[in-house]
Each structure stands twice: as structure tokens, then as C-alpha cells.
Amino acid sequence: MPSKTARETASPNPMQRSRPGGYGHRRAFLQLSAALLLAALSCPARSAAKETAPLKIIAFGDSLVAGFGLSADAAFPAVLEKTLRAEGYAVSVVNAGVSGDTASGGQARLDWALGNGADGVILELGANDMLRGVDPDVTKAALDAILGKLKARNIKVLIAGMKAAPNLGQDYKTRFDAIYPALAKKYDAPLYPFFLEWVAGEPALKLGDGLHPNPAGVERIVKGILPAVRAFVDQFGAKAARGE
């Protein structure tokens, strides 16, 4: 038989050379694609959690919310957020407190405080009205207007109530204390009856002025209101669901 020429020996069929390499690359590509697909399917919940923004709650109030005389991380919103996050809630609590604010002052700045909106609001106003002896009808009208605007924007509200000091007289106290239950009923909103429960009559939980809570006082306020806040946050379902 005639022997192969040098050209035939040096240049085998191109298809014979390319098939093994081509098949290997294709197999590697398919294996990599399968691995990436399995990785994506194995952690969809974690990826979704990273993309979901936390529930935004605005604490809207006066110096009791602002944290008068305290560092920012010792104020009510910061302590409440830290407590909720420790329990696994995906929540951001925004400090929208202004020292010295009355209910009418809060009404005037509500739109600015809401900014781009919120999921919920903890409404704490009225203490300064009471201290200044403002007519309860004026306080009620301002709070009513705030609640009406929040309802129109579909923002849920937890009302943090206030109670008048006894030295203002029984008539004033009766009229003032009735504001919060009446508005809670009108707007079908949850009510925490007294924001300063267990703190108002405890000097050890107040600053030197005898009015504002110290860090221990804030911790006590958060402990007291926490069950109401949990129930409030749970209304939002999966958006603020506890993590693992």
C-alpha cells in the first residue's frame, strides 16, 4: 500500500482535532450553568430579604420622643428600634420629635416630618399642651387633624396617650384625659393609654428637671409600650416579619 504523504501526516482532519476539545468546553459550560442555577435556587429567601427595605415607623412627638438631654442612641426611637431588631423585626424607627412641640405645632410640621412617607406612625403629642394649660378642645382638634391626614395617606397609627397632672384641676383633667380614647375610637387606632406609665412618678427615672426621662426612664418607657408596638408592627405582616 502506498505510504501517507508528509502533508497527510502533518495535517490530520480538522474535525478530528476539534471534536474532543469542543465537547469538553460544552460539558464544562453545562456544569457551570447547573451549579449557578442550584446556588440561586438554594437561597431565594436570603436574596429577597436583602432586597426588602425595613418597615419604616416614624415616632412623631415632642421632647419625650426627641430625647431631651440625652444622646441620640439613648432617645426613645433609637432604643425602641434596637429592641425590636434584637427580637428579629425588620424595622427602622425614625426620630421625628421636636422639644417643646404642642399638638398644633405637630399639625403644622406633619407633611415635612413624613417626607416621602412611612408605613406607620407612633403619635406622641399633648404633654406640652397640658403643661401650658391649653384648652383640651384645641389639643383634640389638632390631633384629630393629624390622624385624619395620616388616614387619608393610608398610614397606620399607634396613639401614645398622655394624662393630665392632678394639680390642673379635675375638670381639666377629665376633659384632657378623654382626648386619646375618643380619637382612638374614632379612627379605630390602637392606643397605649399613657406614654409615661411607670415613669411619671419615679424621680429615679427622670433627669434633674423632674420632667424628662433619663436613659433608665426611656428603657422603662420602651418596656412598657413594647407589647403595643409589637401588635402594631405585626399588622404589617411579612414586611416586618421576624427573621431567623
Q: Which positions are catalytic?
A: 63, 209, 212
8 Å CB contact between 181 and 191:
yes
User: 3-state class of 121 per DSSP?
Assistant: strand
Element (H, E) at 158: strand 156-160
Whole-number Å distance between alpha carbons of 64 and 169: 24
Where would I find the H helices in the chain?
6-10, 14-42, 44-51, 63-66, 76-86, 103-114, 127-132, 136-152, 170-177, 179-187, 215-234
CA-closest candidate to residue 218, choices 85, 121, 122, 75? 75
8 Å CB contact between 122 and 91:
no
